[in-house]
Amino acid sequence: MLLKRRDVMRPGWHPDPTGRHQYREWDGVVWTEHVSDFGRASIDWGYSGGRRRRRSRARAVASR
């Protein structure tokens, strides 16, 4: 089934599909780690949003 343009979810705050929080930010491509509960925004540090976590350059150099 092809999605029509009007069926595409717009970037913004939407109910959290993981159920861990009330709302989660959709950036237009993936769900982000930005969440909100009872009007208070925070970061869900344990969520990668489907993106691979990149090691920082400093950690990559230190591990060589």
Q: Give me the pLDDT at residue 50, please.
A: 57
Q: Give me the pLDDT at residue 2, please.
A: 61
pTM (2 d.p.): 0.66
Give the 3-state secondary structure percentages of the chain, helix then strand then coil, rounded to 5.
15, 30, 55
What single letter denotes the amino acid at residue 38?
F
| C-alpha distances out from residue 9 to 14, 39, 40, 55, Å | 9, 22, 23, 30
pLDDT tens-digit readout, 21-59? 999 999 999 999 999 999 999 999 998 865 644 444 444
| C-alpha distances out from residue 13 to 8, 39, 55, Å | 14, 11, 28
